[in-house]
C-alpha cells in the first residue's frame, strides 16, 4: 500500500489516501507526490467509495496543494513508468 499524499506530511493512514502499488512503484515514489493526473485518478476512485463523512474532493485537492507548497519542495513528482503494464493508483 502507498500513501498518495505522503504519510510524512499528514501522519495519517486513511482509506481515501491509500492505494495499492507494487513494491517497485512504492519504493520509487517514496515521499513524493504523484503528478496531478495520477492524483485525479485517485480522486475519481474515491468518488465511488464510502469514505468518512467530512471528505470532499475539494478538501483533498487542497491537501494536495498544501503539500506542494509546504512539504514537497523541489522534488520531482512521481509518475509510473509501468502504468500501461499494470494498474497503479486505481
All three cell numbers of 77, joined, read 513528482
**pLDDT per position as a tens digit, 9-18:** 999 999 999 9
Q: Give yes or no for residue 88 having a pLDDT over 60.
A: no
Q: Which residue has the cell 509501468?
A: 82
For residue 90, the model assigns a pLDDT of 41
Q: Give yes or no for residue 66 having a pLDDT over 50.
A: yes
**pLDDT per position as a tens digit, 27-60:** 889 999 999 999 999 999 999 998 989 999 999 9
Amino acid at each position: 500500500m502507498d500513501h498518495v499524499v505522503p504519510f510524512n506530511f499528514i501522519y495519517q493512514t486513511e482509506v481515501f489516501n491509500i492505494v495499492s502499488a507494487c513494491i517497485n512503484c512504492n519504493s520509487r515514489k517514496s515521499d513524493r507526490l504523484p503528478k496531478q493526473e495520477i492524483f485525479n485518478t485517485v480522486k475519481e476512485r474515491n468518488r465511488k467509495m464510502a469514505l468518512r463523512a467530512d471528505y470532499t474532493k475539494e478538501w483533498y485537492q487542497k491537501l494536495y496543494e498544501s503539500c506542494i507548497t509546504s512539504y514537497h519542495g523541489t522534488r520531482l513528482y512521481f509518475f509510473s513508468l509501468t502504468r500501461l503494464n499494470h494498474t497503479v493508483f486505481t
